[in-house]
Structure 1
Amino acid sequence: MSPDRPELMAALAAAQRWLDTVGSRPVPAAEDIDALTERFAGPLPAHGRRADEVVRKLASAVEPGLLAIGSPRFFGWVMGGTLPAALAADWLVSAWDQNAGMRDATPGVVAAEDAAARWILEALGLPATAAVGFVTGATMANFTALASARDALLAGIGWDQATLGMSGSPRIRVLAGAERHSSVDMALRYLGLGAPELVGVDAQGRMDAAELRHTLDADQAPTIVCVQAGNIHSGAFDPFTEIVDAAHEAGAWVHVDGAFGLWAGAAAALIGLVGGMAGADSWATDAHKTLNTPYDSGIAIVADPGALSRAFGHSAAYLLHSEVPDPHEKVPELSRRARGVPVWAALAALGRDGLAELVQGLVDAAQLLARGLAGLPGVAVLNEVVYTQVVIALIDDAITARVLELLLDEGLVRPSGSSWQGRSVIRFSVSNHGTDAEAVAQTVGAVAEALDSARRHLG
């Protein structure tokens, strides 16, 4: 690297130091927020400093407060790691500093995003004519797709939301499974659609298709049905074929929240989980999870490109206008970084076979982990491990809570605590491409030690 860029050399050194140790270091941050706040205390300096000094100071101040999300023993909150090609591409995106909103203004990054969009549809078996928008994460992907659904359904009954707004508009009914993810509720709230009407689910959180059909028949209001590819606890997938058939017979729009589960469509052995999913009207996912790209990698997909561009299209005299919808007409933002470029890099580095191996490898690691944990005395695996989630509970809630506390304190592994089926649980979300048999064995060993300690402590 050029010596004329000492700030980039400083950033590279800090990044290499972090990446070289993230797999072996304790997962929790070494210092808490109070200590970190103190490091950044003080007024705005009266005078500036050299860029390389700022970078080194930033790295030294922040590193003690970093969570090792990239560790192969990190299993919290369905957060993936980062593939090398995707990380490097993300650096280029920052260096290029392109606004990826207008096709003819920044054609280089837009062409890469267009290619990534085509590959996503191809890999997941979704309609090749669907429109793809790159957003921040799964919440905004749900928001973007559901905005398209809202406006399309209102237009179908003669209400122009773009002109008339939502005040006084006809009611849109939203149906969702009782175990939908909260990001769906957030997106609906942002869109003025309110809380969804809940449909019953089975023991693994899969929507009851028969109950859905009955609920659809009970009300003729324009309806959105939100289904799930990957339950946040069990990893289960809704029965898409039955749901899509029932919803479309009723004239409803079907949206799939596939934040981490949509990628099951890329692995041949997992195709059964997503049967019928391609018949939906929109889909949402987050490439930072299963695809292992850096953060800022949400993806909204809408089968009818016109519905997406009608929801977000706009014009101004100073903008360039392409013959086809510009990228900014597919997302809520006019200005944005080229966040689809790291997605392209990840897919290009993996190829179709590598993508299938990545997804299947996560599932294999989750199933290996489940078998190891189930072999420990008093540990019950509560879910059918069909995808990447493993949920365990101990003899009672007190021991479960104590084991989780010990695991978090010790820091070798990082699951997350939750409540499911009326019990306190520990959830392991296998999302990192580096989680191999050794990482699984270390995790099982850490849980075994925590369990022994908890039993001694609680008598």
Structure 2
Amino acid sequence: MDELRRLFHSVADHAADYRRSLPERPVGVPIDQSRLVEAFAGPLPAAPTPPEQVVAELVAAAEPGLVATAGPRYFGFVVGGALPAATAADMLAAGWDQVAFNAVTSPAAVAAEAAAGDWLKDLLGIPASASVGFVTGAQAANTAGLAAARHQVLADAGWDVERRGLLGAPSIRVLAGAERHATIDRSLRLLGLGTDVVRPVAAGPNGAIDLESLRGALRAASPGPTIVCLQAGNVNTGACDELREACELVHRHGGWVHVDGAFGLWAAASPATRHLTDGLELADSWACDGHKWLNLPYDSAFAFCARPDVHAAAMSYTASYLVGSGGAPVGADLTAESSRRARGFAVWAGLRELGRDGVAALVDRCCALARRFAEGLTAAGFEVANEVVLNQVLVGFGDDARTDRVVAAAQAEGTCWVGGTTWRGRRLMRIAVSNATTTEADVDRSIAAMVRLAAE
């Protein structure tokens, strides 16, 4: 046991040293991927290797290929760094090695998810009676929400999709914004509905769904099973759909509303931005990430459903078992996984560390820093292509080719990391401010690097 203690301590020390280096560490540096692969490759040894040596070899092989995504100047892919308490809780979760299948395999894991789920619903304004499945990411959360939607709209049409499948089932129509995230289409493929069921609805100037177009699409289609996908937080612009009016409109037509709120749903946690998600409580299901704006470790997201019975019927082994047990659905009843890691410990710890005010402050600070980016780059003579409503900024540096060159130069130079995107037929730099440790100085330093690289 002393050897185990030394091993775990050495790993914790390395992790802490790495985190301590992030403020000044190059965010991304060019690497020779083939050499990195070689460092991990080679024949599997025939004899066992001491754990201490294994860890030392892992650190040596991985170190040159690490990207400082947890640092304060990483602005790509809408990801944040993991909070200290959440990281420590995730380390404990690995050490405890719990299976969060249900309250038999790990009573503590299920209890942590129950408490954290209640906190999440309270913060986001989701009805307290809703179910929460702790899943891996927005892809899994959207899939769970749309599985519940598929179950219910077909049940309303007299069809048991879990028993009878989709062959011969009534046709489902899915209305979704033209600027929906790609995970929606992928979820529809995974659920056997296919992407041909999608009827795109036009988006407004900043990427939110156009309500008149949605109204026309609902009127134009023949009555039948209908799912409408709305979004809180356009992945390029941060724009949020007008959820209250859209939900009321869809429900008048008997449809199910699913909200993809991978990062934008967190706007509901701040009084300053809550108006952007007004009416979200009227939806039927919601998807939201924890490893984005909440700054939890990766492999953390949430699938909410206003009807726990429908959620469980769509995702559990058998709905009849749940009814017969007399218990509320928990754990694996609400996800597509059985051998689930206990990710709820890190969620509980991260929320506990921030508190209600801390979550709101995190949202507000990131939004303010995004505006600082927009103001600084505009003052430098570059074009901000979107209305900055949350934490997303789109920047053009002239023509598409020049913009791509500036993005590539920034990624190689290492002061900050930003991504490129295509929006409305144009190539743009996309800046996503999501990290809890980002400061005004980090933004100013990044702007200076972008201006310098654009001039070069």
Give me the whole-angstrom Cα distance separating, in 2, the residues matched to 1:4 and 1:210: 63
Aligned to 1:197: 199
Aligned to 2:364: 360
Matched, 1:100 2:103: no
> How far 1:294 moved relative to its partner?
0.2
Give me the whole-angstrom Cα distance separating, in 2, the residues matched to 1:101 and 1:285: 21
The answer on whether the counterparts of 1:290 and 1:359 sit within 8 Å (CA) in structure 2 is yes
Structure 1's consecutive aligned runs of 4 or more residues displaced over 6 angstroms after TM superposition are none
The AA in structure 1 aligned to 2:297 is P
The answer on whether the counterparts of 1:7 and 1:53 sit within 8 Å (CA) in structure 2 is no
Partner residue of 1:372 out of 376, 388, 391: 376
> How far 1:95 moved relative to its partner?
0.8
The AA in structure 1 aligned to 2:448 is G
Give me the whole-angstrom Cα distance separating, in 1, the residues matched to 2:161 and 2:314: 9
The answer on whether the counterparts of 1:14 and 1:56 sit within 8 Å (CA) in structure 2 is no
> How far 1:326 moved relative to its partner?
3.0
Aligned to 1:382: 385
Matched, 1:404 2:412: no
Q: Tell me the secondary structure at the aligned position of residue 146 of structure 1.
A: helix
Give me the whole-angstrom Cα distance separating, in 2, the residues matched to 1:172 and 1:244: 18
Instruction: Please list the CA deviations of residues 354-401 of structure 1 after superposition, one character each: whole Å capped at 9, or x if unmatched.
Output: 111011111111111111111112x10011111000000022222212
Aligned to 1:247: 250
> How far 1:4 moved relative to its partner?
4.4
The answer on whether the counterparts of 1:209 and 1:243 sit within 8 Å (CA) in structure 2 is yes
Give me the whole-angstrom Cα distance separating, in 1, the residues matched to 2:393 and 2:270: 19
Q: TM-score, normalised by structure 2?
A: 0.96
Aligned to 2:155: 155
The AA in structure 2 aligned to 1:340 is G
Give me the whole-angstrom Cα distance separating, in 1, the residues matched to 2:71 and 2:327: 45
Partner residue of 2:446 out of 435, 439, 443: 443
Instruction: Please list the CA deviations of residues 113-135 of structure 1 after superposition, one character each: whole Å capped at 9, or x if unmatched.
Output: 10000000001111000000000
The answer on whether the counterparts of 2:98 and 2:105 sit within 8 Å (CA) in structure 1 is no
Q: Tell me the secondary structure at the aligned position of residue 283 of structure 1.
A: strand
Q: Tell me the secondary structure at the aligned position of residue 56 of structure 1.
A: helix
The AA in structure 2 aligned to 1:440 is V
Specify whether residues 274 and 50 from structure 1 end up closer, same or farther in structure 2 by C-alpha distance, changes over 3 A only.
same
Q: Tell me the secondary structure at the aligned position of residue 391 of structure 1.
A: strand
The AA in structure 1 aligned to 2:246 is I
Q: Tell me the secondary structure at the aligned position of residue 428 of structure 2.
A: strand
The answer on whether the counterparts of 2:394 and 2:428 sit within 8 Å (CA) in structure 1 is yes
> How far 1:102 moved relative to its partner?
1.1
Instruction: Please list the CA deviations of residues 45-96 of structure 1 after superposition, one character each: whole Å capped at 9, or x if unmatched.
Output: 1111111110111011111111110111101111111100100011111111
Q: Tell me the secondary structure at the aligned position of residue 272 of structure 2.
A: helix
Matched, 1:305 2:319: no
Matches within 5 A, 1:46-195: 46-195=46-195
The answer on whether the counterparts of 1:130 and 1:304 sit within 8 Å (CA) in structure 2 is yes
Aligned to 1:348: 352
> How far 1:217 moved relative to its partner?
1.3
> How far 1:340 moved relative to its partner?
1.6
The AA in structure 1 aligned to 2:101 is G
Aligned to 2:235: 232
Partner residue of 2:220 out of 218, 239, 242: 218
Cα RMSD for the two superposed structures: 1.7
Give me the whole-angstrom Cα distance separating, in 2, the residues matched to 1:321 and 1:30: 56
Matched, 1:267 2:270: yes
Aligned to 1:457: none
> How far 1:2 moved relative to its partner?
4.9
> How far 1:30 moved relative to its partner?
5.3
Aligned to 2:27: 27
The AA in structure 2 aligned to 1:251 is G
Partner residue of 2:260 out of 248, 257, 262: 257
Deviates more, 1:318-327 or 1:41-50: 318-327
The answer on whether the counterparts of 2:366 and 2:391 sit within 8 Å (CA) in structure 1 is yes
> How far 1:321 moved relative to its partner?
5.6
The AA in structure 1 aligned to 2:344 is G
Deviates more, 1:397-406 or 1:110-119: 397-406
The answer on whether the counterparts of 1:8 and 1:52 sit within 8 Å (CA) in structure 2 is no
Give me the whole-angstrom Cα distance separating, in 2, the residues matched to 1:107 and 1:159: 36
Q: Tell me the secondary structure at the aligned position of residue 64 of structure 1.
A: helix
Give me the whole-angstrom Cα distance separating, in 2, the residues matched to 1:315 and 1:21: 49
The answer on whether the counterparts of 2:130 and 2:304 sit within 8 Å (CA) in structure 1 is yes
Q: Tell me the secondary structure at the aligned position of residue 221 of structure 1.
A: coil
Partner residue of 2:336 out of 332, 335, 344: 332
Give me the whole-angstrom Cα distance separating, in 2, the residues matched to 1:448 and 1:4: 50
User: Aligned residues: percent identity?
Assistant: 45
The answer on whether the counterparts of 1:234 and 1:385 sit within 8 Å (CA) in structure 2 is yes
The answer on whether the counterparts of 1:103 and 1:322 sit within 8 Å (CA) in structure 2 is no
Give me the whole-angstrom Cα distance separating, in 2, the residues matched to 1:297 and 1:231: 20
Q: Please list every run of 5 or more consecutive structure 2 residues that lacks an aligned counterpart in the other structure.
A: none
Aligned to 2:283: 280
The answer on whether the counterparts of 2:30 and 2:412 sit within 8 Å (CA) in structure 1 is no
Matched, 1:392 2:395: yes
Q: Please list every run of 5 or more consecutive structure 1 residues that lacks an aligned counterpart in the other structure.
A: 454-459
Instruction: Please list the CA deviations of residues 419-454 of structure 1 after superposition, one character each: whole Å capped at 9, or x if unmatched.
Output: 11221100001010111100010011011101111x
